[in-house]
Structure 1
C-alpha cells in the first residue's frame, strides 16, 4: 500500500494570462497613450490578473484538501493493516508456542522406554495440560482486549524485559532440551529492544523444539558498539526425530520485528544444526 502522490501544479492558466497581457500590450501600443485603450486596457489587465490569481488559489486549495482527505484515508487504512499484522503475530506466537510445546512433549514421551516410561508419560500429561492452560489464558487475554479496547479490566500481558530472558530459556528444559544462556556486558538497553530480544529467543527456542526436538540450544546475547546482537544456535536433531513444521510465518514475523527497530535478522543452517542471528540497533547506553 503506497501513499497518494502529492498534487503537482500543471495548470496552463498562467500561459493564457501571459498571452492576454501580451495582446493587451499590443492593443495599448496600437491605440496610443491618448486613445480609449489607455483607460480600458489597464483595467482589463488588472481584472484579468485578479481573476486568474483568485481562480488559481481556489483550485490549489481544492486540490490540497482533496490530497489531505486521500492521505487521511490512506493513513487510516495503513494503521489498520499494521494493527492486523501485529495481532496476527501475537496470535501466531501464542498458538504456535503452545502447540509446539504440546507436540514436542507428547512426541518425547512416546519415545521413552524402560521402567520410567509410565512416570514420563504421566509427567508429559501434566506438562501438556499446563501448556494448554497457558495458551488458553493468553488467548482469552488477547480476545478480551480485542472485544473492547477501552475495557479497563482487560488483563494485558506485561511487556517482557531482559529479566524474563533466563525464565524463557529455562522453560525449554521441560521439553527435554538442554538450553544455555550467555549474556555479555550490555549496559542500558531500551525497553523496545528488550521486548524484541525476548520474543526472538522465545520463538527461536519454539522453532528448535519443533524442528530439532530435544537437543542442545545455545543463546548468546551481547553488545556490539550501539547494536544488540542475539544469537540462537542448536546442535540439530538427535536420533530419529521427526520435525514438526509450522505455518512458516514465525521467522517472517521475527524478521519484521527486527526491521521495525531498524535491525536485521538472518537464519541459516550451521553445522548439524541451525543458527539465528538478530542485530538490533540500540543507543540507550550512550
Structure 2
C-alpha cells in the first residue's frame, strides 16, 4: 500500500483511540492525544520528534495507538539497540503513569503488576515488530544486491567466453587460413618465375599481390581478435595426426619424417603436434624457399618430443608480412599441455622448432 494511505489510516485509528480513551472533561488529555495523532503524519521523517510528542498522551490518557505507532517507527528506523531500549522503557513508564489518573480506589498490587505487564507487552510488541520490518527491509536490499552481483557475474562470464572464442578464432585463422594463403602466394610466385607466357605471368603476379595483401589484412584481424582474447577454447572440427602425412605431402616442401607418430595421446596433444608441424612448414615456405625439412618424433614413454628443422633457403625469398602470432599460439598450446616450445636458428643458417610435453597429458 502507498505510504500516504498507511499514514492516513494510522492517524484515523489514533484519533478514534483518543476519542474513546481520552476523558472530555480533561482538556489537556484531549489536546495531547490530538497532537499525538496528528504528529503521526511526519513519523517517517522525524521519528524521534513524533515519539516525544506522543509521550504526554500516553501519560495522561489510556490511548495507546499513537504511542505504539511512534515506538514502532523508531524501532523500524534505528540501528542503535540502546537508544531503542531507552525509548521502550520511557514509553512503558509513561503508560504506567495512567494508573493514577482515574478516580478509582487506590490500585492494588495485582492491578499494578497487570498494568505494568500490559505496558511492557505493548512496548515490546511495537519494538519487535519495528525490528522485524527493518530486518525484512535489509533482507530485500541484500537480495537486490545479490541479484545485481549475479547479473554482473553473468556478464563477466559471457565476456570471458566471448574473449576465449576470439582468441581461439584468431589461432585457427592463423593456423589454417594463413597456411593456405601463404601456399597460394608461394605457388603464384613460382608460376610467375617459371612461366614464359606473359598473360600467365601477369595473372600470377596479380594472384601473389592479392595473397600478400590478404595475409597482411589477416594479420591485422588476428591482432584485433587477440587483443580481447584469453585462454583458448577448442573449436570443431579439429585436425588429428591421421591427417598429418597428407598435410606434409601437400606442403610443397621436401620433408623427411623420422620416428613413429604416437597413437595413444589425447586429442589436444594431437592438435598441438599437427599445428606445430603445420606452422613450421608454413614458415619454411615463407622464409626459406627451396629448403628441405626434417621432422623427428621421439616418444620415450614419459615425454613426447617433436623437432622440425630446415636447411637454409636456396632461392630468393618473397617478402611476406608476419607478426609472430603463430609461434605465440604454439607456445600457448604447449603450455596448456604442460610442455614447452622453443624456436630459433641453427648453426648452419637453418631453423629449428622443438615441442616437448608429457606423454601422460590428457
Interval containing the TM-score (normalised by the shorter chain): 0.5 to 0.7
> Normalising by structure 1, what TM-score?
0.63
Corresponding position of 1:244: 319
- Give me the whole-angstrom Cα distance separating, in 1, the residues matched to 2:337 and 2:241: 17
Structure-2 change in CA distance of 1:252 and 1:26 (3 Å): same
Task: After superposing the two structures, state which structure 1 stretch, 221-230 or 51-60, moved more.
Answer: 221-230
Deviations 1:59-82 (A, max 9, x none): 221112112222222322332333
1:157 is displaced (CA, Å) by 8.3
Note if 1:283 corresponds to 2:360.
Answer: yes
1:264 is displaced (CA, Å) by 4.2
Deviations 1:194-216 (A, max 9, x none): 12321221121111111112223
- Give me the whole-angstrom Cα distance separating, in 1, the residues matched to 2:312 and 2:158: 45
SS at match of 2:82: helix
- Give me the whole-angstrom Cα distance separating, in 2, the residues matched to 1:264 and 1:189: 17
Which structure dedicates a bigger proportion of its chain to helix? 2
Corresponding position of 1:169: 248
Corresponding position of 1:136: none
SS at match of 2:151: helix
Structure 1 residues 1-286: aligned runs within 5 Å = 19=80, 21-26=81-86, 34=116, 38-107=120-189, 159-172=238-251, 174=252, 177-183=253-259, 186=262, 188-223=264-299, 228-238=304-314, 241-242=316-317, 244-248=319-323, 249-261=325-337, 263-271=339-347, 272-280=349-357, 283=360
Which structure dedicates a bigger proportion of its chain to strand? 1
- Give me the whole-angstrom Cα distance separating, in 2, the residues matched to 1:70 and 1:76: 10
Deviations 1:117-152 (A, max 9, x none): 98xx9xxx9xx9xxx9xxxxxxxxxxxxxxxxxxxx
SS at match of 1:268: strand
Structure-2 change in CA distance of 1:24 and 1:81 (3 Å): closer
- Give me the whole-angstrom Cα distance separating, in 2, the residues matched to 1:60 and 1:226: 53
SS at match of 1:267: strand
RMSD: 4.0
**5+ long unaligned stretches in structure 2:** 1-76, 94-112, 212-234
**5+ long unaligned stretches in structure 1:** 1-15, 133-155
1:27 is displaced (CA, Å) by 5.0
Indicate the structure whose relative CO is greater, using CA pairs within 8 Å and at least 6 residues apart: 1
Given that 2:345 and 2:351 are in contact with CA atoms closer than 8 Å, whether structure 1 keeps it comes out as yes
Structure-2 change in CA distance of 1:49 and 1:270 (3 Å): farther
Given that 2:341 and 2:354 are in contact with CA atoms closer than 8 Å, whether structure 1 keeps it comes out as yes
SS at match of 2:290: coil
Deviations 1:33-89 (A, max 9, x none): 948763344334422431232122212211121122222223223323333333343
> Normalising by structure 2, what TM-score?
0.51
SS at match of 2:184: helix
Q: Work out which of the two has the higher radius of gyration on C-alpha atoms and give 1 or 2.
A: 2
Given that 1:169 and 1:180 are in contact with CA atoms closer than 8 Å, whether structure 2 keeps it comes out as no
Given that 1:215 and 1:236 are in contact with CA atoms closer than 8 Å, whether structure 2 keeps it comes out as yes
- Give me the whole-angstrom Cα distance separating, in 1, the residues matched to 2:144 and 2:84: 30
